[in-house]
Amino acid sequence: MKKSLLIAAISMFLSFGLNAQTKPKGIFLHHKAVMDELNMTPEQRTKIVEIRKATDVKSIVDDTTLSESEKKKAKIEMYRKRTQEQNAVLTPEQLAKLKKMKAEAKKGN
């Protein structure tokens, strides 16, 4: 009994460790560390946060009139629009640095 309980506990802890290692890493423009890395101005930071709040995906998820495939398409379109709006806030140098950061994060996965 004790052995099987010990084995179950060990396997549970190992699965937590494996799960933590497989989570994707991403570069999210609304995170403070990314804003700091890009040296964003207070005005840029405010605009990024406003864009993010205005494009909340929860309204799509909660919409019961849409099918799952329609929700997926709507979310993709919302993310595309949000990215375009956020990129318009950045300077060309910041945008280049952001693209580099995303490429490095993608390589790390």
- How does pLDDT run along the chain (109 residues), one tens digit per residue? 666 655 655 666 656 555 555 544 566 767 888 889 999 999 999 999 999 888 888 888 888 999 999 999 999 999 999 999 999 999 999 999 989 988 888 887 5
Alpha helices per DSSP H over the chain: 2-22, 32-37, 42-54, 58-61, 68-89, 92-108
Quote the domain boundaries for residue 44: 26-108
pLDDT, residue 26, reads 62
Is 7 a member of any domain? no
Is 49 a member of any domain? yes
> Any idea which residue has 């405010």 for tokens?
46
Angle at 25 between CA 21 and CA 31, to 5 degrees: 135
Is 99 a member of any domain? yes
In single-letter form, the type of residue at position 31 comes to H
Q: Could you give the number of structural domains in the chain?
A: 1
Is 30 a member of any domain? yes
Which residues, 6 or more positions from 71, have their beta carbon under 8 angstroms from its beta carbon?
60, 61, 63
> Any idea which residue has 């799952």 for tokens?
68
Is 1 a member of any domain? no
pLDDT, residue 34, reads 87
Total-model pTM: 0.65
